Structure 1
Amino acid sequence: MRPIVCHSRHFKPWDKVEALVSSIRRPEITSQSPALSEELVGKILDGYPDIKTLKKLHSKVIVDRHLHFNPSLSIKLMRAFAACGESRIPRHIFDESPDRNVIFYNVMIRSYMNNHLYEDAFLVFKTMFSHGFLPDNYTYPCVLKACSASHDLWVGLQIHGAVVKVGLDLNLFVGNGLVSMYGKCDRLVEGRRVLDEMPRRDVVSWNSMVAGYAQNARFDDVLEICREMESLRLKLDAGTMASLLPAVTNTSSENVLYIKKMFENLVNKSLVSWNVMIAVYVNNSMPSEAVHLFLHMETCETEPDAVTIASILPACGDLSALLLGRRLHQYVKRKKLLPNLLLENALMDMYAKCGCLQDARGVFDNMKFRDVVSWTSLISAYGRSGQGRDAIELFEKMQDSGLSPDSVAFVSVISACSHAGLLEEGKYYFRLMIGEYKIVPRIEHFSCMVDLLGRAGRVEEAYSFVKEMPIEPNERVWGALLSACRVYSNMDIGLIAADKLFQLVPEQAGYYVLLSNIYAKAERWQDVTTVRSMMKSRGIKKTPGVSNVELNDRVHTFLAGDRSHPQSKKIYEDLDVLVGKMKELGYVPETDSALHDVEEEDKECHLAVHSEKLAIVFALLNSEPGAPIRITKNLRVCGDCHTAVKLISKIAEREIVVRDTYRFHHFKNGICSCADNWHLDRLAKSLSGRSQQSKVYLAAAPQCPYPDAHLDGAIKTGLFDYVWVQFYNNAQCHYAGNADNLLKAWNQWTSSQAKQVFLGLPASEAAAPSGGFISAAVLTSQVLPKIKGSAKYGGVMLWSKYYDNGYSAAIKGSV
């Protein structure tokens, strides 16, 4: 029987089915009306027609007195409807059949079981006895399969007792069902005992045991079973590989190699075996191998199915292999594989990972049915692209649709708030998750909150949050805190976080590098040397920067300083030319990105050959003018490369999309989609450095919530001459009948590293639709007298001339 997809939520009410049937009049018997024969109807039903054809045929059978109560046709009708995902019509046929026998019960049980209605299957099984029918060797395997799928050990144990009483435990298919049931219910000892006591075993028997061990991640036991099979000269098949799959997710390279050898030794490679091998590669972060295998499968003229496409699409996303992803999408449309929820979710995720949000949204908007995974994938995509507001809007729409967000959905929306600097919104969703949805926070939620606070510059608050966590912080939590310490140069907390990380994951090179970077930014080169020496003594090597770019269905990989590519000579020549053009536009290598205590010239050379620069130049050489370039990198893009790629996008007139481990960067015409939120501090330093020729004045205009989510890192450089703070449209710190919140925020801003702070106000009520307007009389009599005493008071900034109808004149004398 071909695979069944459950669509039980879309069953038509039975009264509509009855109406459909009753509306069909009995045809008049004429010489032109060919009678349906039992043979013809049976032949049609054996071909498993589509649901529309099936309903038409059923209506004709109902009105034919010779066919209506034919037991053989009734059974075939039940099977055919069940294959189309229908279970109510088979049940109606079952109930209306006057000559029911064991076969009817077996078909009805299988119909429910194949459509995931396990409780209904158990009820039919139970009624067999009361109607005088005894289960046979076909009934028990089917009921055991329902026990396996529903993990119902209690019913499974009863079935085991029943088959022993009637002697069917010696039956091969019943024995296989028992082994599978015990494996799925985590009773591996009992499953192995059944396997050992079976008088006859086939490859399915052993595969069932393999699956049991695999789903419990007992790979050593899996290997032992496979060796036993080989010693018995049983050929490992595609079913064995499929059974192994749960045990080889995020496993060792040796285990992956074992599966690969098993695959290569298969004489006849079925589609299932190809699908499993692709899935093994994808589940073990080996996207290049997965794509290579898929392309090889195509050369072997093996036609992919929906499972193949759903398995390979994540690899396309990981590599930003958009051309292959689009080709697969066209194949899906051509083969009419949609609607398919799993496939559509995979397509959406692929486009999102390739930085094609519009395409991802297009897939989402065209889906007939969406689950929480569908919504969460798109929310996450908006978040990674820095479009936090869009992510929030989508999250609210998901709630309005009637779906309840799960724990993963909250991870996505809080993470989106973090990337967009939406501190208060992120806090709100964390409270909403706990208070309204009663979801107990998991470690990933705490990690997101630490990241949210850390990115907003609330390092002290983030550390307090970690200390108050009800569960033990893991490396992700401490890692998020350490990253914030690097950005905001908090040495004290950074050392605490690093110490915790060295205890938890002493082999992770990235955290040593982060600590080294903190020391390097503070120019504590001796401490940098100490950290590097510690890495060397422990045999820990820094993860090399790797960038991928797709060209003509092939993914090209570049490492920092890579010269192994056949076009390396031309790539380096063109890169030198490009750097020259960049310098003409004012590019100065940001040598602090190199973070080595070496000469500036050496740092400059090191930065020039970072992997993303090499990948971009390769793409410029080999793609059509104007074609977008998509790069994926395994590390965070450094400040120098970020500046360089902006300039390259302008010089080459290309859109360049770079996905690093943190987010997407869409570069176009010299501008990045991230608005340089994480590089403004370096920009400030660079601009300030030009004051040696002529004075450069630096100004910033943050929001009044302190610190500003986007500009805090830059303001902390202490290089800004003027900071104009917007004290309106922000309820937590603007004037609202009294100046308490405003004055509290003002005191925070005047304690910052800014040289002069200006009070930013609306010139009229219309200029601040969300509030914060202060009348001229209140400002001059109540507010200005309290703030003008600050040494950093610079004056009042008004928004804007358009709204200024005498307001500036009224306050000028008091400013």
Structure 2
Amino acid sequence: MISGYAHSGLNSEAIALFFEMVEFGERPNQFCFSAAIRACSNRECAWIGLVIFGFVVKSGYFESDVCVGCALIDLFGKGFGDLESAKKVFDEMPERNSVSWTLMITRFMQMGDSMDAIELFSDMLIEGYMPDRFTFSSVLSACSEVGSLDIGRQLHSWVVKTGLTSDVCVGCSLVDMYAKSTVNGSMDESRKVFDRMAEHNVMSWTAIITGYVQKGGCDVEAIELYSRMITEGRVKPNHFTFASLLKACGNLFNPRLGEQIHGQAIKSSLAEVNCVGNSLISMYAKMDMMEDARKAFEFLFEKNLVSFNALADGYARNLGSGEVFNQIGDEGVGADAFTFASLLSGAASIGAVGKGEQIHARLVKAGFATNLCVCNALISMYTRCGDIEAGFQVFEEMGVRNVISWTSIITGFAKHGLARRALDLFKQMLDFGVKPNEVTFVAVLSACSHAGLVDEGRRHFDSMLKEHGIRPRMEHYACMVDVLGRSGFLNEAMEFIESMPFPPDALVWRTLLGACSVHGDTDLGRRAADMIIEQDPSDPAAHVLLSNLYASAGQWEDVAKIRKGMKERNVVKEAGCSWIETANSVHKFYVGDTKHPEAREIYGELERLVVEIKGMGYVPDTRFVMHEVEEGEKERYLFQHSEKIALAYGLISTGKAKPIRIFKNLRVCGDCHAAMKYASVATGREIVVRDSNRFHHIKDGRCSCNDYW
């Protein structure tokens, strides 16, 4: 009866019956102890399990029965989250079998200690125990978590030899392992395993769909597989399938497709399941459909912190985080570290430093001022909002730092053009014994790129594998192409690309094309653009950069051909826009924008400013007008650029003591950059501009980028 209750999830009834049996005078045996302890293997009842544990020790079953030992491993692992005590139970078991080894490996993997799980598997083999399908599934999952492809491939060979390739559970683990562990974003090996599986169930379909979604850029393939799953496979999706599909829809920014998947989730009665509901909130929030995100939130039967965090992240992007905070309080759910990190990330994404400062004050009151995750988010928020010194102050005051803390502040200094400070911090990081990761080296190489430190860039790139055991990935090669290309070493950059150990992706070619645009190399630029378009015909950046390159060289016929091709392929250029935060509100401007309520005052201020800076020597640089029109018309186009409109609004709406902080989604125009340097002298104001590449701190006619960006 106790075992029956425990297996049915009726834990309280199982525990009550166990103590009733003891009071009745019956002496529990090993099977009874195992069932009662398993009923206690959860957060709510774990403390009762310790009482039963004492009873077990007195009875002598701990030293003689494998089943009781396995139940105790679960008590400490699942009930208390205490792997150390679970391992101690395992080590003191006089008798073990493959089940106990597999259980310990599984608990290590599930609790995030994947390397220990792999080492334990090795110990299991040395001890002479044979792994079964459950063992392979767990250790393959551990390999996928740590990205250990070499070990995963060895395990795959063993799976083939033992004849377990037909097992769906092992097959799913292999699909997941290859999806997460294969370098450079390839899903080929994962797909081969999936295609060779004799049978597919909802787990295997979901594993391959999730793999494509997690890889990035493969969302269309994920949707196509889902269509096959429900038509050819006749398999019904589960809540995990829908969660991945909704993420794919969000990545594709396809609201119609997202609504269709949402409708199917409702028909399957899975829309109210937390992981599906939370994915719905995230999808709609990502597409700025906050009303639909809110409806998905309200539809959830049980809201948890993930639900609130997903909604908070969406509202933070739209500066409505206060509403979420109020509701969290009303519903009795306390904001956790992730909630604050989401809100700070939202403020950082649009450069809303005022909102970020409010969130900072709120998290201090809530007692999260020393939380490592929150402090890292604060560093990122301040540095991405243009206040590098405030970010550095947060970093300096941290009692405990990890690799993310160091990487965040190094990235901040790199983006602000303070390469020497970034590299000095990297040296301090190594001196403190903190091991850098792949992201750290992206920050270090970016610092070298923004400052033209070619030799240092080469040295740090070479040190990755030699000194730190980090194999350079695609983004590191792209950074080195940027280091060489920005400095004008275009031929060397091309040679570097040709020497890469794997085929360059669109990011690498796009980086080279950007450098060709800066230095006016149309021949090499055309080659880079052709490679991008070959890999991704719908990439607007390649068409636009090449078009601008031709325009700057006066090759208007080539410009017309590219624009005609874009129209035929339905490739849409991202609209340039700039925004500025004043009085806790964000004001967005597009080219020639007249929709703002204060448009008359803005253009009046802009006209006055242009007259003044022209008198100081500013000459409009019409090379940055990518249209074949009259010279006077070109000047008019230049004065309507979104960053100039944002500057004019900043001048009439902010106090002189504060810097004017402007944010732009694309690279800042060269003419606007020059105009702002003159404007900083004419107005006596500091102007901070964040574009898609970096920050520009402009003061007294000088920019922190030294005209190198």
Q: TM-score, normalised to structure 2's length? A: 0.68
Partner in structure 2 of residue 676 of structure 1: 707
Query: 2:319, 2:347 within 8 Å by CA — same for their partners in 1?
Result: no
2:308 counterpart letter in structure 1: W
| 1:262 corresponding residue in structure 2 | 296
**Per the alignment, do residues 119 and 184 of structure 1 end up closer, same or farther by CA in structure 2, a change over 3 Å counting?**
farther
Is the CA contact 1:417–1:452 (under 8 Å) kept in the aligned structure 2? yes
SS of match in other structure, 1:342 = helix
Determine if contact 2:69/2:90 at 8 Å carries over to the other structure. no
Q: 2:134 aligns with which of 143, 157, 160?
A: 157
Q: Deviations over 1:297-335 (max 9, x none)?
A: 245463633221111211211211111111111222222
Name the aligned partner's letter for residue 480 of structure 2: M
Q: Deviations over 1:544-569 (max 9, x none)?
A: 21112112322221111111121112
Deviation of 1:389 (Å)? 1.2
**Corresponding residue for 1:275?**
309
What residue number does 1:210 align with?
239
Structure 1 residues 337 and 94, CA gap change in structure 2 (3 angstroms): farther
Give the residue type in structure 1 aligned to 2:350. Answer: L
Aligned to 1:124: 89
Contact 1:105 1:128 in 2 (8 A): no
Read off the aligned partner of 2:695 and give its amino acid letter. F
- 2:530 equivalent among 499, 506, 512: 499
- Pick closer, same or farther for the CA change 1:271–1:411 going to 2, 3 Å: closer
Residues 1:291 and 1:225: Cα distance change in structure 2 (over 3 Å): closer
Which letter maps to 1:275? Answer: N
2:356 aligned residue (302, 322, 325): 325
Q: Distance in 2 between matches of 1:643 and 1:307?
A: 41
Q: Following TM superposition, by how much is the alpha carbon of 1:596 offset from its aligned partner in structure 2, in angstroms?
A: 2.0
Q: Which residue of 2 aligns with 1:313?
A: 344
Paired position in structure 1 for 2:566:
535
Q: Could you tell me how far apart the structure 1 residues matched to 2:437 and 2:523 are?
A: 36
CA separation of 1:130 and 1:239: change in aligned 2, threshold 3 A: same
Q: Secondary structure at the match of 1:316?
A: helix
Match in the other structure for 1:454:
485
Equivalence for 1:296: 323
User: Which residue matches 1:628?
Assistant: 659
- Out of 637, 641, 645, the position equivalent to 1:610 is 641
With over 3 angstroms needed to count, the CA separation of the structure-2 counterparts of 1:612 and 1:116, relative to structure 1, is: farther
Letter in 1 for 2:299: N
Letter in 2 for 1:294: S
- State the partner residue of 1:371: 402
Residues 86-114 of structure 1, C-alpha deviations (whole Å, 9 max, x = no match):
xxxx99x9799757999998687454457
Q: Indicate conservation of the 8 Å contact 2:137/2:173, yes or no.
A: no
- What's the offset of the Cα at 1:604? 0.8
Aligned with 2:370: secondary structure? coil
The partner residue of 2:616 within 568, 572, 585 is 585
Select which of 478, 496, 502 maps to 1:465: 496
Distance 1:547 1:224, change over 3 A: closer
User: Counterpart of 1:395 in structure 2: which amino acid?
Assistant: F
1:634–1:661 CA contact under 8 A, matched in 2: yes
2:347, 2:247 → 1: CA distance?
A: 30
3-state secondary structure, aligned to 1:632: strand
Q: Aligned residue for 1:481?
A: 512
Please tell me whether residue 439 in structure 1 is matched to residue 404 in structure 2.
Answer: no
Offset of 1:605 from its aligned partner? 0.9
Q: Is the contact between residue 517 and residue 546 of structure 2 (CA under 8 Å) also seen in structure 1?
A: yes
Of Structure 1 and Structure 2, which has the larger fraction of its residues in helix?
2
**Distance (Å, rounded) in 2 between the aligned partners of 1:160 and 1:462:** 44
Provide closer, same or farther for how the CA distance between residues 243 and 531 of structure 1 changes in structure 2, counting only shifts above 3 A: closer
For 1:115 and 1:422, locate their aligned partners in 2 and report how far apart those are by CA, in whole Å.
51
> What's 1:86 paired with?
none
Amino acid at match of 1:274: F
Q: CA RMSD in A?
A: 4.6
Q: Distance in 2 between matches of 1:334 and 1:541?
A: 46
With over 3 angstroms needed to count, the CA separation of the structure-2 counterparts of 1:617 and 1:223, relative to structure 1, is: closer
| Contact residue 247 and residue 283 of structure 2 kept, 8 A | no
Instruction: Tell me the amino acid that sits aligned with residue 592 of structure 1.
Output: R
Instruction: Name the SS of the counterpart of 2:502 in structure 1.
Output: coil
State how far apart, in whole Å, the 2-side matches of 1:650 and 1:112 are: 65
Cα distance, 1:239–1:543 mapped onto 2, change above 3 Å: closer
Residue aligned with 1:440, SS: coil
Report the secondary structure of 2:468's partner residue.
Answer: coil
Aligned partner of 2:277 in structure 1 is 241
Quote the residue 1:73 is aligned against: none
Written as runs of structure 1 = structure 2, the 5 A alignment for 1:168-183 is: none
Stretch moving more, 507-516 or 491-500: 507-516
Give the 3-state SS of the residue equivalent to 1:448 in structure 2. helix
String of CA shifts for 1:369-415, please: whole Å, max 9, x gaps: 22211111111111111111111111111111112212221111011
* Letter of the 1:626 counterpart: A
Percent identical among aligned pairs is 35
Q: Which amino acid aligns with 1:121?
A: A
Deviation of the 1:128 alpha carbon: 7.2
After TM superposition, list the pairs within 5 Å mapping 1:598-747 onto structure 2: 598-678=629-709
Which sections of structure 2, spanning at least 5 residues, go unmatched?
1-39, 63-67, 122-130, 139-167, 177-193, 195-199, 207-236, 250-256
CA offsets 1:743-788 (integer angstroms, 9 cap, x no match): xxxxxxxxxxxxxxxxxxxxxxxxxxxxxxxxxxxxxxxxxxxxxx
For 1:376 and 1:160, the matched residues in 2 are separated by: 34
Secondary structure of the 1:674 match is: coil
Letter in 1 for 2:134: L
**Deviation (angstroms), 1:234:** 6.5
Change in Cα spacing, 1:147 to 1:424, as seen in structure 2 (3 Å) is closer
Contact 2:341 2:377 in 1 (8 A): yes
SS of residue matched to 1:436: helix
Q: Residues 495 and 268 (structure 1 numbering): CA distance in 2 closer, same or farther, change over 3 Å?
A: same
1:500-531 deviations in Å (ceiling 9; x for gaps): 12222222222222222222222222222222
SS at match of 1:667: strand
Q: Between 515-524 and 94-103, report the one with greater CA deviation.
A: 94-103
For 2:604, the equivalent position in structure 1 comes to 573
Relative to structure 1, the CA distance from residue 100 to residue 374 in structure 2 (aligned partners, 3 Å threshold; closer, same or farther) is farther
Contact 1:238 1:273 in 2 (8 A): yes
Is contact 1:321-1:354 (8 Å) kept? yes
Shift of 1:432: 0.6
Equivalent residues in 2 for 1:101-140, closer than 5 Å: 109-113=74-78, 118=83, 121=86, 124=89
- The one-letter amino acid paired with 1:210 is H
What are the Cα deviations for residues 139-197 of structure 1, in whole angstroms up to 9, with x where unaligned?
Answer: x9999776544577979937999xxxxxxxxxxxxxxxxx999988968966759x9xx
- Matched-pair contact (CA < 8 Å) for 1:646–1:670: yes
Amino acid at match of 1:241: G
Q: 1:586 to 1:396 in 2, by over 3 A?
A: same
Give me the whole-angstrom Cα distance separating, in 2, the residues matched to 1:576 and 1:357. 32
CA contact (8 A) 1:183 1:212 kept: no
| TM-score of the pair, normalised by structure 1 | 0.60
Greater Rg by CA: 1
The alpha carbon displacement at 1:347 in A equals 0.6
State the Cα distance separating 1:223 from its structure 2 match. 9.6
Structure 2 counterpart of 1:596:
627
- Tell me by how many angstroms 1:537 deviates: 2.9
In structure 1, what is the Cα distance between the partners aligned to 2:260 and 2:75?
33
Contact 1:637 1:660 in 2 (8 A): yes
C-alpha change, 1:96 and 1:341, in structure 2 (3 Å) is: farther
Give 1:250 deviation, angstroms: 12
